Amino acid sequence: MTVNKLISYFDNYLSLDDKEKEELTNRVIEKNIKRKQFILHEGDVCRHYSFVVSGCFKMYGVDASGKAHNIQFASENEWISDIGSFHSEKGSQLFIEAIEPSIILQLEKSNLIYLYTQYPKFNRTFRVIIEDKFVELQNRILQKISSTAEERYLSFLDQYPLLSNRLPNTQIASYLGITPEFLSKIRNHISQK
């Protein structure tokens, strides 16, 4: 049962009791997602929190000139969602696309709200999860403001060694906010040491 992976994920925060496990299990939907398949498309409302059981996703926006900019990746044991669209129920400006064949567990808004109101533990746990994500984003902003591209690349390798092995460099470049050509030059420069 893939839902066990989600249940043991919660053990990192506050472990669930049997009743909570059952409620959670009944409220998520398992989906198989092919490579290059979208689970969120620009203009659509984001209606789910998606928990990645296996595989990998990217979330990105497309600018006026048609270029894609990766905002975040999500692989095993991570949630992905456009939280802004999810809450406002307005059309998203983002895409979420599978980079690899993936299995996810989706939680719909009405079910999430049910869990929030019936079981305070979910409320607390999701608060902590998003606080951690917030801190991560804040560090990224600080880095983007104050470091060079080479420093940011090295720090990405350091922080996400598993991701950097399985992602093509084009995707990493987009996440760092640089062109693939320039990343190639950075890599060349680094290897000369």
Partner DNA sequence: CGCGACGTTGATTTGCCTCAACGATTGTGG
Partner DNA sequence: CCACAATCGTTGAGGCAAATCAACGTCGCG
Contacts with a second copy by CB under 8 A lie at 61, 63, 67, 69, 71-72, 83-84, 87, 116, 120, 123-124, 126-127, 130-131, 133-135, 137-142, 144-147, 177
Helices 3-10, 18-27: axis angle to 10 degrees equals 130
Shortest Å, Cβ 60 to a second copy? 9
Q: Which residue in 1, 141, 181, 193 binds DNA (CB under 7 A)? A: 181
Alpha-carbon span 183 to 176, nearest angstrom? 9
Residue 63 interacting partner from a second copy, DNA, none (CB closer than 5 to 8 Å by kind)? a second copy
Q: Does 180 bind DNA (CB under 7 A)?
A: yes
Whether the Cβ atoms of residue 17 and residue 122 lie closer than 8 Å to each other: no
Alpha-carbon span 80 to 40, nearest angstrom? 10
Shortest Å, Cβ 107 to DNA? 28
Residue 184 interacting partner from DNA, a second copy, none (CB closer than 5 to 8 Å by kind)? DNA
Shortest Å, Cβ 101 to a second copy? 27
Q: Which residue in 19, 36, 41, 127 binds DNA (CB under 7 A)? A: 36
> With respect to DNA, which residue has the nearer C-beta, 7 or 178?
178
Alpha-carbon span 38 to 135, nearest angstrom? 27
Whether the Cβ atoms of residue 111 and residue 99 lie closer than 8 Å to each other: no
Q: How far is CA 35 from CA 38, 56, 117, in A?
A: 9, 9, 36
Alpha-carbon span 120 to 12, nearest angstrom? 17
Residues that bind DNA (CB under 7 A): 35-36, 65, 148-150, 168-171, 177-185, 187-188
